[in-house]
Amino acid sequence: MRARSTVSVLLAVLPFLAACGAKAAGPGPRIYVALDEQFSRPLLDRFAQELGVALDQRHDTEGNKTVGFVSAIREEAGSPRCTVFWNNELAHTVHLAKLGLLEPYDSPAGRDLPSKWRDEEHRWYGFAARARVLIVNTKLLPDPKDWPTTYRDLLDPKWKGRCAIAAPLTGTTMTHFTALWRKLGDEEFGRFLEGLFANEVRLLGSNGATMKAVRDGEIPWAFTDTDDYHVAKTNGHSVACVFPDQQDGGIGTMLIPNSVALVKGGPDPEGGRRLIDKILARQTEAMLAAAEGAQIPLRAGVPGPQDPSVKPVGSFRQMDWDVEWTAENLTTFNQKFSRRFGK
């Protein structure tokens, strides 16, 4: 009878135990990826195969973009679960470096990146960037003379209730607004924010949503990232892209690279280092440029996106933004302004 009971117990808990072990931390590194899973997963699968490691990939949700993993890495600091963090923007990675959560790694593959986009202490590297651009519906605005040209057009009464930006609570828009805060100063930035509400600018949940609102003709234009714009264009929609603030004296278009970093104390750091080398390779930048997301290579000589409307580095006026200051002030920005956006 006891034997039967024991067998029954085992039968009952067997599926449970199997499930527990199904995804237990394996021997390979674990990567947290904030870049769109459609673009990053095939690359990472390939890298894992080339390196011969069991790579455990975790992909973020769009709504939590970036901040979900940043929160997780901070919480896991005592007992890290992540080896490599591939962020789809830069400031939050620098923020983690400042908190001492990243391990320096002098990757040979990252040495030819522009010095502005890599850490002197080798804690993070920026690569394959997106530009913060204006996406325009060319059916609603067929004449380029009517197109917006600067971020200040968000405040133009001509566009009241007819333009959009993602709520700056996560992702690249949060980085963009924090950098803009630095650029404009407290007073002017405050006026800018109030102007957004006064002009009834639509605050949507993501850059994908702003792109869709324009693509589907709900509004004539919006702020988005080049990857979102490019996918809409590739899918045959009537959209164009404006690199804003290119006029004399304009602040320029913001370029936000992906970033990659080794997390301090994560599993299989050696595997993580080899993975970082793969991610930072020139070939990866080229593949990301050729993919639907049309990421802009930061290194000279790496083939850029084929679409000429996604301009290469050097062919447009770049916004000079203070990466370190932005990273240091992300939390202050959140504390100071997030309530203004109702959450």
Residue 183 interacts with another protein (CB under 8 A): yes or no: no
Beta strands in 50-201 (DSSP E): 56-59, 84-87, 102-103, 125-137, 163-166
The site that binds another protein (CB under 8 A) totals a number of residues, namely 73
Pick from 52, 108, 236, 249 the residue near another protein by CB under 8 A: 236
Closest contact distance (angstroms) between CB of 267 and another protein is: 9
| Of 151-159, 272-280, 308-316, 334-342: span binding another protein (CB under 8 A) | 334-342
Pick from 118, 122, 237, 311 the residue near another protein by CB under 8 A: 237
Question: What's the CA angle centered on 179, arms 174 and 181, to 5 degrees?
Answer: 95
Subset of 256-295 contacting another protein (CB under 8 A): none
Closest contact distance (angstroms) between CB of 26 and another protein is: 9
**Tokens at 17, concatenated:** 């135990």
Through-space distance between the first and last CA atoms of the chain, rounded to whole angstroms: 59
Subset of 92-121 contacting another protein (CB under 8 A): 92, 95
Subset of 136-175 contacting another protein (CB under 8 A): 164, 169-170
CA 262 to chain centre: 17
Closest contact distance (angstroms) between CB of 58 and another protein is: 7
Residue 58 interacts with another protein (CB under 8 A): yes or no: yes
Could you tell me how many residues make up the chain? 343
Pick from 31, 90, 135, 203 the residue near another protein by CB under 8 A: 203
Separation CA 283–CA 303 (nearest Å): 9
For the CA atoms of 305, 311, 313, 318, the dihedral, rounded to the nearest 10 degrees, stands at -150
Of 78 and 108, nearer to another protein (C-beta) is 78
Closest contact distance (angstroms) between CB of 339 and another protein is: 6
Strand partners, 241: 135
Closest contact distance (angstroms) between CB of 41 and another protein is: 8
Which contiguous run of DSSP H or E holds residue 227?
helix 226-234
**Tokens at 45, concatenated:** 């699968």
**Tokens at 99, concatenated:** 């908190």
Residue 34 interacts with another protein (CB under 8 A): yes or no: no
| Of 46-54, 252-260, 310-318, 324-332: span binding another protein (CB under 8 A) | 324-332
Which contiguous run of DSSP H or E holds residue 70?
helix 67-75
